[in-house]
Structure 1
């Protein structure tokens, strides 16, 4: 399991005195302060699910539990002087923000801590491992089980099927990330994902725009 380090050219950081007063500060630390490892994925039954099977499963879950809610974290690090976001890559193809689906009646913050521990920590996945969850910066909706997500609830969506929430996660100065072997953890520059829905999908490619209210400060000491 490797970590891809990609450097890009970007404009100079905004000085503190020049920031709009409403901007919040997110301190990020160099990628070199973090260490990375791999773990065996939890075994799951081998199931060959067709598209029709998946549609039936989603409909059954909706009938039993209602709206499906997913929570994901935006984790930022510094590399080559520029902010990068940590993404999980599945089978060298699709990209994901760390997180996942909430359980029935599970709260957003509690569920995101559980999911981050499951995907990014090596110990008990039920511990929160000191995750510092910040504010929700965006919500995406699916009006039906197979429709693309929208950054707003379409007016004709009487009973939306899924809500996807993104939260800023403030990382400490140093920590370890232990990822299941079937996944890769990549540090990808914000400038590379910006507007690049063809590669990263509509949600990830929209993350740079969602960070407009934050000032990103690199802390090197």
Structure 2
């Protein structure tokens, strides 16, 4: 019961969308032609470098009093959360 109260007390601040600046970069083309190729590349990288540590960031903002999640556009029809490479791997070595 006390744990539930503690969880309910947590507040997430939502900042207005106007706090962020958006730009456009040159398109980055996919390195892999298929999902199978991507898994092969990832498998090879794993054997060379070991476990990869990363997280996906969830960026919440508000616009017109409504919450929004910011996503990155990849290609024409695919959107994803922005990846954030972790420094834990560097610190662990």
Q: Establish whether TM, by shorter chain, passes 0.5.
A: yes
Runs of 4+ in structure 1 displaced over 6 angstroms?
none
In the alignment, the residues of structure 1 paired with residue 23 and residue 49 of structure 2 have an alpha-carbon distance, to the nearest angstrom, of 36
- Tell me which of 53, 56, 62 is aligned to 2:37: 53
Residue segments in structure 1 that go unaligned for 5+ positions in a row: 1-19, 108-221
**Alpha-carbon deviations, 1:132-176, whole Å to 9, x = none?**
xxxxxxxxxxxxxxxxxxxxxxxxxxxxxxxxxxxxxxxxxxxxx
Taking a change above 3 Å as real, the CA distance of residues 94 and 100 of structure 1, as seen in their structure-2 partners, is: farther
Contact 2:57 2:84 in 1 (8 A): no
- Taking only aligned residues, the RMSD between alpha carbons, in angstroms, comes to 3.2
Shift of 1:61: 1.5
- Tell me which of 35, 39, 53 is aligned to 2:25: 39
- Normalised by the length of structure 1, the TM-score is 0.31
Q: What residue is the counterpart of 1:94 in the other structure? A: 78
Greater per-residue strand proportion: 1
Helix, strand or coil at the partner of 1:36: coil
Shift of 1:76: 1.0
Q: What residue is the counterpart of 1:106 in the other structure? A: 90
Looking at both structures, which has the greater relative contact order when contacts are Cα pairs under 8 Å and sequence separation is at least 6?
1
Q: What residue is the counterpart of 1:66 in the other structure? A: 50
Please identify, of 67-76 and 79-88, the stretch whose mean Cα deviation from structure 2 is larger: 67-76
- Normalised by the length of structure 2, the TM-score is 0.62
Residue segments in structure 2 that go unaligned for 5+ positions in a row: none
